[in-house]
């Protein structure tokens, strides 16, 4: 039977009383990390920041540690020369530092021993899988922005959550956070369709010939959202929306045939649910402050941000239209991976992480991204199962395959 219990098992009515929580931010230097810090600064004393991770930016970490003296633990998850880390850590005597491959897990352990209860996972890519699983084992409430974890290892995360007494996930992705709120109090059999919206990105009205000419800065110029580089590339080809469909399947246990996407260029409506009596939707101006604050404060009510809210009479006209899969081949391939299930989403996601990285490094064209994805998918064997190792192996093989196959694509300088 249709149900969204895996994630929303701990749903209770929002309460008005304020209870302080202690927070860990994984990926504090990124776009979601920065918006999270903004939320904390707007309501000082309500959420205590005790631990942060960054991958590589020591200058940004120094700024964060200076602005938030409550931080007791910090992790640097990427490789850095050991001397620079020792020098850096001397400047912040009250902070315990972790680095190396297990840094995020050690950070989560240490923060939990100091009664941290909430973690926001704002890292990018399947690198988020291990810390998410550790956070579940430790019984954290996880505000999950990192969609690649659900796409790659959804069945494993679902199983880990089901066997945890305390852990829960509240989605941060704006569409999924909206859906989470829309599904509260709605009995599963009454849901006809859950619809995620997509802005359509910067190339909604471009022809295939025009798309061949787009440059890095055109792709990174998203019309409605300001985000990190990888998700911005994903959004330009609607691949982000395909990933979000898979994310929704796992977060809410909604089958693919009850999920749909509508293009909605102004990004004010984030999700809709269709029931027998019509459509309900969740709308506000495109700002990640709303879903992040909702997830951090849930089950309490989030603060109000009058400077960010706009009233409906000031909204642009709300237009919706179907996606043309021919116009967005990466989206069509992702939907095929969703239909195939098993390791297909993990293969798609890993190949896409490589493809987006190659594009951002100027090594392949934007239109080569779906070409490379198709090459990797057609050369890969899809397997079914629920063991973490199966998904991690599929991820690793797809990355190798994507690197190898990318050599067959035309070099960027030969066509520009
Ligand atoms: P970003 O690139 O701005 O930030 C990524 C963060 O992850 C940085 O702090 C970086 O230091 C860290 N990081 C990078 N590689 C890492 C690795 N291998 N291991 C551990 N940490 C690593 O990305 P973002 O836009 O903030 O997005 C973060 C996640 O949230 C993505 O999964 C994205 O799809 C999702 N998301 C983002 C938005 C948004 O508005 N930015 C909206 C919805 C969902
Ligand atoms: Mg989204």
Task: Tell how far the Cα of 230 is from the centroid of ligand 1, in angstroms.
Answer: 8
Question: Could you give the residue ranges of the DSSP H alpha helices within 138-255?
Answer: 147-162, 174-183, 208-211, 216-219, 229-236, 239-252
Cα 180 versus chain centre, distance: 15
pLDDT tens, position by position, 195-210: 999 999 999 998 888 8
Average pLDDT across the chain, whole number: 93
Task: Tell how far the Cα of 60 is from the centroid of ligand 1, in angstroms.
Answer: 15
Q: Which ligand is nearest to the CA of 150?
A: 1
Give yes or no for residue 61 having a pLDDT over 90: yes
* Pairing mode of beta strands 321-322, 269-275: unpaired
pLDDT tens, position by position, 315-338: 999 999 999 999 999 999 999 999
Task: Tell how far the Cα of 374 is from the centroid of ligand 2, in angstroms.
Answer: 23
Question: How confident is the model at residue 386, as a pLDDT?
Answer: 87
> 388-406 and 344-360 are packed helices; what angle lies between their axes, rounded to 10 degrees?
40
Q: Which ligand is nearest to the CA of 80?
A: 1
pLDDT band for position 260 (cuts 50, 70, 90): very high
Domain with CATH 3.40.50.720 in the chain: 16-171
Give yes or no for residue 297 having a pLDDT over 50: yes
Check if 247 has its Cβ closer than 6 Å to any atom of ligand 1. Answer: no
Which of 123, 154, 173, 251 to probe ligand 1 with, by most ligand atoms within 8 A of CB? 123
Q: Kindly report the CATH class assigned to 16-171.
A: alpha beta
Atom from ligand 1 closest to the CA of residue 226: 40
Which of 24, 27, 291 to probe ligand 1 with, by most ligand atoms within 8 A of CB? 27
3: CB partners within 8 A, 6+ apart: 188, 253
Is residue 205 helix, strand or coil? coil
pLDDT tens, position by position, 262-291: 999 999 999 999 999 999 999 999 999 999
Check if 173 has its Cβ closer than 6 Å to any atom of ligand 1. Answer: yes
Give yes or no for residue 13 having a pLDDT over 70: no
User: Are residues 125 and 398 in contact, defined by beta-carbon separation less than 8 angstroms?
Assistant: no
User: Are residues 208 and 23 in contact, defined by beta-carbon separation less than 8 angstroms?
Assistant: no
Q: Kindly report the CATH class assigned to 324-416.
A: mainly alpha
Domain with CATH 1.10.1740.10 in the chain: 324-416
Check if 334 has its Cβ closer than 6 Å to any atom of ligand 1. Answer: no
Is residue 186 helix, strand or coil? coil
Check if 286 has its Cβ closer than 6 Å to any atom of ligand 1. Answer: no
Question: How confident is the model at residue 413, as a pLDDT?
Answer: 63
Check if 111 has its Cβ closer than 6 Å to any atom of ligand 1. Answer: no
* Pairing mode of beta strands 193-198, 269-275: antiparallel
Check if 228 has its Cβ closer than 6 Å to any atom of ligand 1. Answer: yes
Atom from ligand 1 closest to the CA of residue 145: 30
Question: How confident is the model at residue 17, as a pLDDT?
Answer: 57
Q: Which ligand is nearest to the CA of 174?
A: 2
pLDDT band for position 212 (cuts 50, 70, 90): confident
Six token digits for residue 220? 């990174």
Question: How confident is the model at residue 157, as a pLDDT?
Answer: 97
> Across residues 217-223, what is the average pLDDT?
94
């Amino acid at each position: 039977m249709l149900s969204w219990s895996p994630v929303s098992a701990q749903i209770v009515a929002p309460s008005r009383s304020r209870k302080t929580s202690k927070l860990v931010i994984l990926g504090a230097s990124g776009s979601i990390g920065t918006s999270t810090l903004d939320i904390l600064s707007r309501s000082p004393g309500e959420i205590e920041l005790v631990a942060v991770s960054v991958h590589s930016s020591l200058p940004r970490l120094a700024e964060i540690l200076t602005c938030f003296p409550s931080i007791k633990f910090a992790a640097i998850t990427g490789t850095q020369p050991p001397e620079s880390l020792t020098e850096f850590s001397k400047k912040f005597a009250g902070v315990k530092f972790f680095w190396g491959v297990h840094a995020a897990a050690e950070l989560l352990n240490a923060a939990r021993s100091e009664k941290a209860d909430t973690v926001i996972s704002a890292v990018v890519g399947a690198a988020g899988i291990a810390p998410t699983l550790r956070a579940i084992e430790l019984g954290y409430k996880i505000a999950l922005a990192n969609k690649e974890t659900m796409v790659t290892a959804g069945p494993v995360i679902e199983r880990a959550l089901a066997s945890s007494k305390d852990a829960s996930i509240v989605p941060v992705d704006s569409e999924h956070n909206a859906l989470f709120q829309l599904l509260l109090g709605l009995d599963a059999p009454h849901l006809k369709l859950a619809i995620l919206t997509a802005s359509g990105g910067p190339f909604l009205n471009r022809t295939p010939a025009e798309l061949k000419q787009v440059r890095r800065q055109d792709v990174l110029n998203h019309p409605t959202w300001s985000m990190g580089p990888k998700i911005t590339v994903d959004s330009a080809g609607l691949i982000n929306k395909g990933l979000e469909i898979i994310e929704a399947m796992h977060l809410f246990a909604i089958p693919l045939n009850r999920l749909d996407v509508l293009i909605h260029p102004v990004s004010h409506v984030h999700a809709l649910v269709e029931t027998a009596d019509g459509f309900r939707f969740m709308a506000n101006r495109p700002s990640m402050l709303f879903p992040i604050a909702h997830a951090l404060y849930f089950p309490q009510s989030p603060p109000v941000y009058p400077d960010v809210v706009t009233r409906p009479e000031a909204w642009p006209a709300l237009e919706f239209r179907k996606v043309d899969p021919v116009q967005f081949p990466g989206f069509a391939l992702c939907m095929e991976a969703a239909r195939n299930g098993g390791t297909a989403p993990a293969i798609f996601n890993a190949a896409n992480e490589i493809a987006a990285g190659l594009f951002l490094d100027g090594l392949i064209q934007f239109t080569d991204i779906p070409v490379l994805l198709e090459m990797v998918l057609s050369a890969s064997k899809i397997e079914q199962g629920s063991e973490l190792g199966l998904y991690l192996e599929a991820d690793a093989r797809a990355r190798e395959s994507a690197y190898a196959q990318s050599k067959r694509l035309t070099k960027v300088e030969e066509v520009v």
